């Protein structure tokens, strides 16, 4: 089925006359008739009763008419959106951010990118690393920022490492461990553990606890980091949080977890081989100019080290 055949069919529906429909479509009547006949062959039956001054749809024609109208409408809507996109010159960015990354780390970059383009159009999506990977591959996102500890890089993506941050044990101020400079897993034996349900280290930490014979109460959890922090602050137990998430938490104490040290590397990810829009280019440019924990992005540091070594 071709779009011009759909056009011919809808024109005959509107005009109720093959001659007038052909003029409306700016084609000869035999061309229009052939197009209708091809549709009839595809759908397996006659679509119009051709009576003098009263051309009208058959029962089969009535059945398929709303479907062909929808095809025609959606085709025109797609063309209109494509034209708007290519002619508007707007800088668009669909950005996926792992739900465990603090907004304060990213929002200043978006502000600077927006300052470069007055018509900057932004859509932010949050999710787990696995969810964001899928959205990238299905072209629903332009860029994602996430980390996948313990997994090899996927060759379908480009990775620009931005920064590393340590995972911290977070405690209410009155907790018995707050006077220490750091915390070992063994120190947490018998404690209540507020699990962040979407934390990428849950499996690794629980395996480490089990391997060392450390038993914690795991009955409290939340999918939202802000709720997990509130639960820790109100005595539900300790939590494991990224360093930047807890920097501004004045009512809580954050101590580095040592033995084992747990760090994560946060990356900016794009799909390998996919061309960038202006919005994507502007954001990547800002991420490479930014300071992350008062240092250049890891990608820039790595490049500088490679250049120096060579």
pLDDT band for position 235 (cuts 50, 70, 90): very high
pLDDT digits (tens, 9 = 90+) for 155-208: 889 999 898 889 999 999 999 999 999 999 999 999 999 999 988 889 889 999
Q: Point out the least confidently predicted range of 99-103, 151-155, 185-189.
A: 151-155
Chosen domain end from 34, 69, 87: 87
184 and 108 together in one domain: no
69 and 148 together in one domain: no
CATH number, domain containing residue 248: 3.40.190.290
CATH number, domain containing residue 58: 1.10.10.10
pLDDT digits (tens, 9 = 90+) for 55-81: 899 999 999 999 999 999 888 888 877
In the chain, the number of structural domains is: 3
Q: Please give the share of the chain, as a percent, with pLDDT higher than 70.
A: 93
Q: Which domain holds residue 40?
A: 3-87
Cis-peptide into 118, omega within 30 deg: no
Whether the full predicted model's pTM is greater than 0.75, yes or no, is no
With 60 as the cut, is the pLDDT of residue 51 above it? yes
pLDDT at position 303 is 66
191 and 279 together in one domain: no
157 and 180 together in one domain: no
Number of other CB atoms surrounding residue 254 within 10 Å: 21
């Amino acid at each position: 089925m071709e779009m011009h055949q759909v056009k011919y069919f809808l024109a005959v529906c509107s005009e109720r006359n093959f001659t007038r429909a052909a003029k409306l479509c700016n084609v000869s009547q035999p061309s229009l008739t052939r197009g209708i006949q091809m549709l009839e062959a595809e759908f397996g039956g006659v679509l119009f009763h051709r009576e003098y001054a009263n051309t009208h749809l058959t029962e089969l024609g009535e059945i398929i008419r709303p479907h062909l109208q929808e095809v025609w409408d959606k085709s025109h809507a797609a063309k209109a959106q494509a034209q708007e996109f290519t002619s508007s010159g707007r800088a668009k960015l669909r950005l996926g951010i792992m739900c465990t990354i603090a907004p304060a780390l990213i929002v200043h970059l978006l502000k600077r990118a927006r300052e470069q383009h007055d018509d900057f159009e932004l859509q932010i999506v949050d999710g787990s690393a696995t969810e964001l990977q899928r959205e990238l591959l299905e072209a629903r996102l332009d860029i994602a920022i996430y980390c996948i500890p313990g997994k090899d890089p996927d060759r379908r993506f480009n990775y620009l490492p931005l920064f590393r941050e340590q995972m911290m044990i977070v405690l209410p101020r009155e907790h018995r461990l707050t006077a220490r400079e750091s915390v070992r897993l063994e120190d947490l034996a018998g404690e209540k553990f507020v699990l962040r349900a979407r934390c990428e280290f849950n499996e690794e930490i629980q395996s480490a606890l089990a391997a060392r014979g450390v038993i914690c109460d795991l009955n409290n959890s939340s999918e939202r980091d802000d709720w997990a922090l509130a639960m820790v602050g109100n005595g539900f137990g300790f939590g494991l949080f990224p360093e930047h998430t807890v920097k501004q938490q004045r009512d809580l104490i954050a101590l580095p977890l040592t033995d084992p040290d747990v760090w994560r590397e946060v990356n900016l990810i794009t799909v390998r081989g996919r061309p960038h829009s202006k919005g994507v280019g502007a954001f990547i440019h800002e991420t490479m100019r930014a300071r992350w924990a008062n240092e250049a992005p890891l990608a820039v540091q790595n490049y500088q080290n490679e250049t120096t070594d060579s």
